[in-house]
Structure 1
Amino acid sequence: MPNIKSAIKRVKTNASANAQNSQTKSAMRTAVKRAETAVTNNEENKNDSIKAAIKAVEKAASKGLVHKNAAARKKSQLMKKA
């Protein structure tokens, strides 16, 4: 544990940022998996789930959690499956 006050604060802020980033990235992965299963099972809500997955991917890319080219690739794959 650091002794300097600013270093202590940095440890706390890094922990909270890491938790938030992990949650956003996990939500993105879950949305993508839901969309893929909806497309493969030809469910009624597949368009809505694809739209939600694309929104989650774009949000993660805008926050820098996923590279913008990786996000574009993931969106392209989703649209191709649809």
Structure 2
Amino acid sequence: MLAIKNLLSVLWFILVFNACSTPVTPLFNGKDLSGWHTDVPAKDSILNAPNSFVVRDGILVSLGAPRGHLITDKTYKN
């Protein structure tokens, strides 16, 4: 029984260590939209259309209009 507990403890440690050592890539720097681009169809025909996305107090904000998408410049997974 002690061997099973020891084995489970080792397996738990390995799982926690692997989860903690997985590198994290922050997608948003909290300052600006570096690393992002927009797809806002209204900007194709209206050159002075307002921005749809802004950063306020370190928070990414969608203004809702004109409608569009915010897309990362790089491709990520997981």
Normalising by the residue count of structure 1, what TM-score does the alignment of the two structures yield?
0.33
For the pair shown, the structure with the greater C-alpha radius of gyration is 2
Normalising by the residue count of structure 2, what TM-score does the alignment of the two structures yield?
0.35
Q: Which has the higher strand share?
A: 2
